[in-house]
Structure 1
Amino acid sequence: MDFMTVPKRLPDAIRDKSELLEPQIGPLPTILVWGRICKTKPNRTIMVLGATGAGKSTLINGMINYILGVRWDDSYRFKLVDEGQGKTQAESQTSEATVYKINYREEFQIPHSLTIIDTPGFGDTRGIERDKEITQQLQRLFTQKSGVSEIDIVCFVTQSALARLTPTQKYVFDSVLSIFGKDVAENIRILVTFADGQRPPVLEAINASGVPCPKTDDGLPAHFKFNNSALFAYNQSSDDEEGGFDEMFWNMGLRSMKRFFAALNQITTKSLTMTNEVLRERQQLEVSVENLQIQVRVGLAKLEEVKETAEKIKEHEAEITRNENFEFEVTVTHPDKEDISGSGNYITNCQQCHHTCHYPCGIPNDSDKSGCAAMGSDGNCRECPKKCIWSVHYNQKYRWVYKEVKEKRTVKELKEKYLKAKEAKSPIQALISKLKDEYKLVQNQVVELMKKSSRCLNRLKEIALKPNPLSTPEYIDMLIESEKSEHKLGWKKRVQALTHMREKAEMMAKVERGETLLQTSVTGTTDSKQDQTKTSTNAVKDQTKTDSNEKGQNSEHHTVQDSDKDHGTDQVLNQDHEN
């Protein structure tokens, strides 16, 4: 007797055979591809973001079961995201940004292919350095050829019951939104998890926090409600009442998914070009501020060296006149190697300048250093003193730091180092002048870094959806106080990282205000701190306005050098050394 072959339902067929490819290994986030590419159907891309424990992984698993048409009474469920074992709720179950490319097949419940970008949870116990890693992963994903270049919906996943955002929760919202360009605002949707039939309290909290996203007619953030509690529930329960509730939640989940994917089809796809620029500017700003902090310390140390040398020469002038080999001791700053082999971080060092241009850097391979945030579009480094080509930069097991050491000197050695034969008539004055020139060189490098940082800040104001919350000292103070009061596991380490970040935020705030960064607290100074600030402010602002104007550049450098004279340093350095 012949029987007709009954075709299997799509989910049954997939259960028997999956076409999951191996993940890529390397700096690009993991990409998992399901099915063969369907050229006749469009592709939609969604990004799923949120705090640790918001329910992102379960939501994505709910999506794949909906897409494949899994029914309540089926004896199986699919998991696209494996949350893993042995991790606490305080740590994100998803450790790396992962891209799931689900290619269209007949019997799909949606009329297109789907790309899901699953991100690790922001704000877990590993702190702000971990959040920075996530941002770097997304930047690589958006810029690599095999990555993602456009997006349809940015899904911000949050729990329904949050009636008020704690400082940490607000930080998560602001951190996520600061990644994107302003043009993505209308593509943001709130996905509310653990929801019931009532209005989710979190929507009012989101409104109060100023999240930029489209609003419904009643003024609430555009959102979708989900309750995935029945997704993996046992569907063969003998308790009719319990089984009835689970099936009810299952059906609610189906309706929510149907509404979500229907809305997805109506949204205009956005390019990630502006978002890429935001990420690039943020990384460049981070590198510039890091180097600015170093150069300010070097500048202050150099100033002290000049002062101390001048004072020692003046103090022992008689002995020096009689004996050029007379020794005196000064404090100087020398570059030194600091081992980072156990940190797990990558670095970009310039071999020609012996300078750390970017640390930590997200690029491990020397052959890929052209993509480091320190490199300009012309392939040259923007951070090392000689602006060297990218190919002389390497990932190494140490970074260059500056350390103060005591050093013995003689006037004879200083003359040989700094003076030419024609300057021998007034060697002491010429020597002091050369030392001052060294300080002015560092001072000008600081101004250059200030200009660069200022340009980044101004551009980010124009294009970023939200400011980086960690660029504001007051915001960081709020997070520090929150960590201290909550006392969650690892809070001391997070406070330490936040304190370090606050120093950078203070530096950015000073750059934005145009304040002078090389204060020279010299005895006998005649100018006021207000005048110093005004001088530095005008120098940076004038240069920002006239970057392409050579006259403006010369004027700016002249202003900085003159401000050094105003600092009263010359009262010590320009002593009359003639007998």
Structure 2
Amino acid sequence: MNTIEKVDFAHVATEMGGITIKNLVTKDKFIDNDNKIKILTIGRENSSATKTILLIGETGSGKTTLLNAMINYLMGVQFEDNFRYSVKDEIGDDRQKKVTDSQTEFVTGYHIYYKPGMVHDYNYLIIDSPGLLDTRGKKIQDKIRKQAEFFLRKEELNITELHSLAFVINGTTNRYQQCVKDVITDFENLFGKDTDQITNILATHCDNMQSVQQVLKDVEIKYSKLYNFQNDCIFSKGQGMLDSPWLAQVAPLKWECLMKKYQEFFEDLNVTTPVSLLLSREAAVEKKELEGAVIQIKNNIEHKINTVIEYESQRKLYEEYKTCMKNNKTFEGTETVSVKEKASIEGTFTHAHNCKKCNRTCVFPCYTGGIIVLCLTFYGKCEVCQCSLWDDHEREGKRIVEKLKTRSVTHKEMKKRYEDAMRRFNDTEAVKTELKKQIDEASVEVAKMTQKITDHINVINRIIRNPKPKTPTEYFNDILKGIEETMTPKLTNSTDKAFLSQTLEDLRIK
């Protein structure tokens, strides 16, 4: 490796084991604290072409060390130099973090600007994501995936193409391979099928490449090339080996071998035809709309179930009250009621449109962004509740949800309710007619949203690279399974549980 001059960037120097660590000074180019993404710059902005790399890896795979090794290679650092470059670990050592600390983790892009003396005359944007597959579980993994997705589709960042989708794999890992497969599948699904050609595997801590190749075969990932990086020598000059001439000779050889591996990777990268992120962004939009459709269909299914359970509870209550009256006994009972509450909106959705008259959420999620004029310039009646869109609806940062609760009913209260019911309805058939109307409305919404979900899934499956995507039927049945797992523990009455199970079974696509 030949360089005309030694390159240097602004840094803060510290000593470590006999060498100087030059901690590079970075500047904030973009920070989004809400979505936990940032871009930091190293050097002065210029017009050189930028090559973009996305690093994805499990906790303990050595992404941070790999990132630093890449920087030292690009800066032209030699083994005999008495310094090494380093960047502050913006993500942190996941193994030392507590669960509560995970909320502070960012997907961080390091934009390294070319300066004379560097090995290649390109700028490089290296995007580092928090570690995956640790004890924090699937929920955190989903959060990190959404952060990376948001990073890549954020228009203000002007990242239009990707040169390397790099999965960092610890060659000594003994993790259950299904977990590794889950991570790769999760992140593969962020991208279009055209990213197969830029997918690279960066193996670390690996002496036996056959074991890594077997893991890759088992998880069925499509990739272009496999690279092996033994980064343990990056911050070493052979210290502690002076009493062993053989080890002292090995250290510079290991360094030279490692730098040749990075030379191979970056030379391949520099001639790679980049992949546009347009397909990935189209998939991201479809996924966001799919997520919204899933929320809506779950709400309508739960509303349908809640309505029937509440009616059945009240019907039973009236029968018990009539029996008590007939036997001249004091009535005491309980009922299941559906209660509406306002819940905070989570995720990437900004607001909902709630009807003040009906006390229900009619539009959620709304995709028009933060400018109210864009989503409230329509007039006329709401398709959901038939109230005025302009006069009766409010744009809010919360949505209205339904919950089933059990409450006690006294004899005095029941007597008043029974008498009121007899005045309002000539017979129980009128009550059933009103109930059927509500159930039918929910059923129509479920049918409409089922078609929307099917359309979104078909588009996503056409775009993403996952070779075994879910079918609309599998997806919808998974939604029903999730509803059952969520609602069943909340029901104390065995009859209600049986009804819930039967209703979901009837909805299930065979």
CA distance in 2, matches of 1:260, 1:172: 23
SS of residue matched to 1:104: coil
Contact 2:190 2:280 (8 Å CA) reproduced:
yes
Q: Residue 150 of structure 1 aligns with which residue?
A: 161
Name the counterpart of 2:143. 133
Separation in 2 of the partners of 1:392 and 1:272?
36
Partner of 1:541: none
What residue in structure 2 maps to residue 295 of structure 1? 300
Partner of 2:456: 456
RMSD of aligned C-alpha atoms? 4.8
> Tell me, what secondary structure is at the counterpart of 2:300?
helix
* Offset, 1:36: 2.4
1:436 CA drift (Å): 1.3
Shift of 1:256: 0.5
User: Structure 1 residues 35, 170: closer, same or farther in 2, change over 3 A?
Assistant: same
- Residue 112 of structure 2 is matched in structure 1 by 102
| Separation in 1, partners of 2:372, 2:138 | 25
Identify the residue that residue 21 of structure 1 maps to in structure 2.
Answer: 27
Change in Cα spacing, 1:367 to 1:384, as seen in structure 2 (3 Å) is farther
Measure the CA separation in 2 of the matches of 1:184 and 1:385.
44
Question: Which residue is equivalent to 1:506?
Answer: 481
Answer whether contact 1:90 1:124 (CA < 8 A) is retained.
no
1:210 aligns with 2:213: no
Q: Does 1:304 align with 2:279?
A: no
- Residues in 1 aligned to 2:149 and 2:92: alpha-carbon distance in whole angstroms: 28
1:46 paired with 2:53, answer: yes
2:80 corresponds to which residue?
73
* CA displacement at 1:130 relative to structure 2: 1.0
Look up the SS of the partner of 1:252 in the other structure.
Answer: helix
Instruction: Answer yes or no: is the 8 Å Cα contact 2:63–2:168 preserved in 1.
Output: yes
- Which position in structure 2 is the counterpart of 1:113? 123
Hey, what's the Cα distance between the residues in 1 that align with 2:215 and 2:93?
A: 32
Q: Which amino acid aligns with 2:150?
A: R
Report if aligned partners of 2:90, 2:106 keep a CA contact under 8 Å in 1. Answer: no
Letter in 2 for 1:461: N
1:276 corresponds in structure 2 to: 281
The structure richer in strand per residue is 2
Partner of 2:191: 180
What amino acid is the match of 1:199?
Answer: M
Question: Hey, what does 2:170 align to over in structure 1?
Answer: 159
Unaligned runs of 5+ in 2: 13-21, 326-330, 485-494
**Residues 260 and 71 of structure 1, relative CA distance in 2, 3 Å threshold:** same
Residue number in structure 2 paired with 1:124: 134
Closer/same/farther in 2, CA of residues 135 and 344 from structure 1, 3 Å limit:
closer
Q: CA deviation at 1:113?
A: 1.1
Q: Is the 8 A contact 1:51 1:123 kept in 2?
A: yes
- 2:206–2:230 Cα contact (<8 Å) kept: yes
Cα deviation 1:222-268 (Å, max 9, x = unaligned): 21111111001144552433332221111111100110011112221
* Partner SS, residue 434 of structure 2: helix
Query: C-alpha displacement at 1:413, in angstroms?
Result: 4.3
Deviates more, 1:100-109 or 1:289-298: 289-298
Letter of the 1:150 counterpart: E
Aligned to 1:88: 95
Measured after TM superposition, the shift of residue 203 of structure 1 is: 1.2
Give the match for residue 570 of structure 1.
none
* Percent pairwise identity: 22
Contact 1:298 1:402 (8 Å CA) reproduced = no
CA distance in 2, matches of 1:96, 1:445: 38
C-alpha deviation, 1:114, in angstroms: 0.9
**In structure 1, the residue corresponding to 2:337 is in which secondary structure?**
strand
By how many angstroms is 1:506 displaced? Answer: 3.1
Provide the residue aligned with 2:15 in structure 1. none
> What per-residue deviation string (whole Å, max 9, x for no partner) do you get for residues 79-121 of structure 1?
1252777752687999210011112222221131111111111
Q: Distance in 2 between matches of 1:133 and 1:175?
A: 11
Instruction: Give how far 1:345 is off.
Output: 11
2 CA distance for matches of 1:400 and 1:337?
Answer: 6
In structure 2, the partner of 1:404 is 405
CA contact (8 A) 1:34 1:101 kept: yes
Q: Give distance in 1, aligned partners of 2:193 and 2:314.
A: 53
Write the distance in 1 (CA, Å) between the matches of 2:362 and 2:60.
37
Deviation readout 1:148-175 (Å, 9 max, x if unpaired): 2211110111122358853222222222
- How many angstroms apart in 2 are the aligned matches of 1:474 and 1:205? 27
| Structure 1 residue 180, shift from structure 2 partner | 1.6
CA contact (8 A) 2:79 2:237 kept: no
> Secondary structure at the residue paired with 2:338?
strand
Contact 2:317 2:333 in 1 (8 A): yes
Gapped runs of 5+ residues in structure 1? Answer: 1-6, 215-221, 321-325, 420-425, 476-501, 510-520, 539-579
* Structure 1 pair 311–297 and aligned structure 2 pair: CA distance change class (3 A): same
3-state secondary structure, aligned to 1:120: coil
Shift, 1:78, TM fit: 0.9
Is 1:347–1:356's contact at 8 Å kept on the other side of the alignment? no
CA contact (8 A) 1:310 1:432 kept: no
The answer to whether the 8 Å contact 2:80/2:237 transfers is no
Q: How far off its partner does 1:8 sit?
A: 9.9
Matches within 5 A, 1:558-577: none
Which letter maps to 1:193? T
Q: Secondary structure at the match of 2:442?
A: helix
CA distance in 2, matches of 1:139, 1:59: 22
Alpha-carbon distance change, 44 to 135 in structure 1, aligned in 2, over 3 angstroms: same
Q: How many positions carry a matched residue from both structures?
A: 452
Residue identity opposite 1:45 in structure 2: T
Equivalent residues in 2 for 1:244-255, closer than 5 Å: 244-255=249-260
Q: Distance in 1 between matches of 2:231 and 2:472?
A: 37
Distance in 2 between residues matched to 1:395 and 1:464, nearest whole Å: 32
Q: 8 Å contact 2:237–2:252 — kept in the other structure?
A: no
